[in-house]
Chain A
Amino acid sequence: MSLDQANRTPAAIGLAAVAGVALGWSHLPLAFGVLTWAVLCLAIAIGFGDAVRRSRVAFSITGIFLLFSGLVAAVFWYDAPAGELRLWLGLPAATAILVYAIWPLGVLAGVLYVVEFERSILPADRLRRFRERYVLDNEAPAKDGRER
């Protein structure tokens, strides 16, 4: 079994899934929370394919992971149901982190997709090569209007 570059990220997501089952079963929520973001960021990395080797993409995905791991840790840190009620913008501190940070910042993955679309997601030259080779032949029968 070889673990070359192309197999490392899927292997990591497989290992993370095993760890997730173990952490969930053992009831270790903080570790599970960090692992949740590891799984999500590994999935983003798989979707970006070999573009993930570009430093800008790699740093962005790592940054998203570190940001959200930190936010989840902060939720645990500020969560004090038995303590004094401290409100941030009308919500208890830990809930405020969830509502004002974790919720909206989820769109960062969408922002990364938009920013990297032409360079990493759908480079024009790769699409052109694909279409020249595989798409033109298929278009003709699709336009005949008959039931297929």
Chain B
Amino acid sequence: MPFADSPLILACVVIYLGACFGIGIWAMGRTHTIADFFVAGRTLGPLVVAVATMSSIMSGFGFVGGPGLVFESGSSSLWMTFAATIGMPLSWILVGKRLCLLAEAREVLSLPDAVALRYGGRAPRLLMALAILLGVLGYLGTQVMAIGIVLQAVLGVDLPLALAIGLGVLAFYSIAGGIMAGVYTDLFQGVLMIGASVAVFFYAVSAAGGMTEISRTLWQTDPELIGPWGTRGSMTALSWYLLFGLGGVGQPHAITKFLMLRDVRQLRWGALAAGAGYAVLSLLWMSIGLAMRTLVERGVQPPLESPDLAAPVFLLAYTPELLAGVVFAGLLAAVMSTADSFLNLGAAAIVRDIPIAITGRPLKRELLGSRIATGALLLASALFAVYMKSLIALLGTFGWGTFAAAIVPSVAIGLNWKRATAAACTVSIAAGLVVNFVFELLARHGIYALPGGFNVGCFALLTSLALFVGVSLVFGKPEGETTPPEVTAAMEV
């Protein structure tokens, strides 16, 4: 990553880090119970939930990896980001109301809580918690590295010092303020980036000479770059669309926000606001990648060392310093708020979900335990990120697909279908994990890849979905497996 060497950009990032400290102190004053720590005491309003849900999906990958993918393979990854326009409303349609109502009726602080309430027994809760913990470890590692790299570029310091500064701030506000600090950082990031994305879009299109010039240049280089599927082909693009559209409903860092809403009646406008908001954020993903590739092909811009440099190089070279500073601060906010959400999910799995699944009760002094677990997870992910990069890369790659395959059938379908069974939930989560992990490993080591660009995560999602429905329909509920009346009632509202 290039060094920004700009006092204005540095000032924007320092102001942001200061704001994080402020939010952390403010949130600490409002975090007294375990419910405050994990679900913000169910006090959030509809705008905060909508923006925080949208922002937690748009992590650092969206602002760096997304433009990099467009730079490298043209339109292919647009199917990934455009899918969120329908994926966001789908989250509201499938799980918004159900999770809110469950949280009104019982103490539901995490998705494994909801799964345990819906299906009973210990296996669904344990498997769901393990799936979340596995995905969290992978995602956290990549977010931690991203924090270090961004701060390294802005501050011009070595990676260890950059990591120490970034993780120090993150540790303070996530341990002190829990999810409350995370959602308000999400809100800050979302509002900031919606405005910045529109501005960056116009700068990008203008720098490359307009859409017509972009299209002509890329067409002459390789028609597939500006074709509808990009260079990765139609099957990859379409399977990304399905994975990121339907799979968005299975991202725990997004849908646990529904457990935080003050009143279920406030859900109404969130679906549209989050879908439209994410569509605006996609402008940045699309425009930077296309513009930078055009500039490189025309010889205006020297070739990039890595596609992931498309966004930072563009911001530093082709936008005003203030806008670049705002986007860098927004990028850091995106990475840190997503990391905070994952820390919170991981802490819930360690302190609450796994102990309840094994011993029948959470650890004693849950709030203190959650804070310790948050710090330990952050430390472990930093060590993983530095010393076990290949494992982190693998876990990070299959994170989205793992969450989608584990959570979409059991939560998104299961909360809307009374016939769904605990056995189906267990089988589908296990199958989703195994299929994702095995096929990613086989592809990564060049042993076997799915034919025709069919995406592994999409394959795993469809497989677990088919198994979930099939097992529920064929075997039905065994005698003695009952659904609590409040869950049945929540499914009938």
Contact = CB atoms under 8 A, between A and B. Distances in A.
Interface stretch (B136-144, B194-202, B298-306, B411-419): B411-419
Interface string B209-220: 011101110010
A98 B286 CA distance: 12
B238 A43 contact: no
B235 A43 contact: no
Interface string A110-128: 1111100110011100110
Contact of B104 (A14, A36, A138): A138
A85 interface: yes
B459 A21 contact: yes
B411 to A, nearest CB: 12
Interface in B59-101: 75, 78-79, 82-86, 88-90, 92-94, 97, 101
A121 B416 CA distance: 12
Nearest to B37: A147
A32 B235 contact: yes
Interface residues of A, number: 76
Contacts, number: 252
Interface in B231-274: 233-235, 238-239, 241-242, 245-246, 249, 264-265, 267-269, 271-272, 274
Contacts of A3: 473
Secondary structure dominating the interface of A: helix
Interface residues of B, number: 94
A91 B226 contact: yes
Residue picked from A1, A6, A92, A127, most chain B C-beta under 10 Å: A92
Given A92-B215, A106-B85, A138-B106, A25 B238 contact: no
A107 B278 CA distance: 10
B268 A90 contact: no
Contacts of A10: 413, 417, 419-420, 469, 472-473
A89 B466 CA distance: 41
Interface in A25-69: 25, 27, 29, 32-33, 36, 39-40, 43-44, 46-49
7 contacts: A18-B462, A18-B466, A20-B242, A32-B239, A98-B79, A109-B86, A146-B33
Given A89-B211, A109-B275, A113-B93, 17 more contacts: A10-B469, A32-B238, A33-B234, A75-B228, A107-B85, A109-B89, A110-B274, A113-B92, A114-B268, A126-B492, A127-B264, A127-B265, A130-B489, A145-B32, A147-B365, A147-B366, A147-B367
